[in-house]
């Protein structure tokens, strides 16, 4: 089993767990999640996706892949207040708000972080996404 680290990419500090957009696992050989995290020390949030697939054939694809995109503090605030689901940390929730957040999170442009080498999980060059409210539901744009 491989675990994701939800530490801040900039200062390596602990981050607030704002929304668990979608999560499957952790299982013995797979774990996928998309989360919104916020670092109070840096005043920067992020949309983070983690995927561990223990079934990949060696050399074909990386077992672990991590993507991240920056969310400004204002967007984190907007998400906190606009997210209509009462259980934002329930990654298996299939309410309209969770579904909208997940579907829009897949569409937005996230940056794949290197898993190996000196630049592992470097925050450099990340894309930025925003939060908007459409039809009463928060979504990523
Ligand atoms: Zn930080
Ligand atoms: Zn929900």
User: 4 in a domain, yes or no?
Assistant: no
pLDDT classification of 65: cutoffs 50, 70, 90:
very high
Domain that holds residue 132: 16-140
User: The pTM is what?
Assistant: 0.93
**Given this model, what pLDDT does residue 1 score?**
61
User: 57 in a domain, yes or no?
Assistant: yes
User: 3 in a domain, yes or no?
Assistant: no
User: 61 in a domain, yes or no?
Assistant: yes
CA–centroid distance, residue 30 to ligand 2 (Å): 22
Q: How far is CA 75 from each of CA 10, 37, 57, 103, rounded to the nearest angstrom? A: 18, 12, 39, 18
CA–centroid distance, residue 112 to ligand 1 (Å): 19
Number of structural domains found in the chain: 1
CA–centroid distance, residue 103 to ligand 2 (Å): 13
State the Cα–Cα distance between residues 35 and 23, nearest whole angstrom.
8
Q: What is the pLDDT of residues 116-130, one digit of tens each?
A: 899 999 999 999 999
User: 11 in a domain, yes or no?
Assistant: no
Q: What is the pLDDT of residues 2-28, one digit of tens each?
A: 777 899 999 999 999 999 999 999 999
- Read off the tokens for 98: 């969770």
């Amino acid at each position: 089993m491989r675990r994701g680290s939800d530490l801040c990419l900039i200062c390596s500090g602990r981050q607030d767990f704002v929304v668990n957009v979608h999560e499957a696992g952790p299982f013995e050989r797979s774990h996928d999640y998309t989360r919104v995290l916020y670092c109070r020390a840096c005043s920067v949030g992020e949309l983070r996706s983690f995927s561990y697939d223990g079934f990949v054939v060696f050399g074909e694809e990386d077992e672990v892949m991590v993507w991240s995109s920056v969310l400004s503090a204002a967007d984190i605030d907007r998400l906190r207040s606009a997210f209509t689901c009462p259980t934002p940390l329930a990654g298996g929730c299939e309410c309209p708000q969770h579904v909208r957040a997940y579907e829009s999170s897949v569409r937005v442009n996230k940056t794949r972080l290197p898993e190996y080498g000196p630049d592992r999980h470097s925050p450099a060059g990340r894309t930025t996404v925003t939060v908007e409210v459409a039809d009463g539901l928060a979504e990523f744009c």
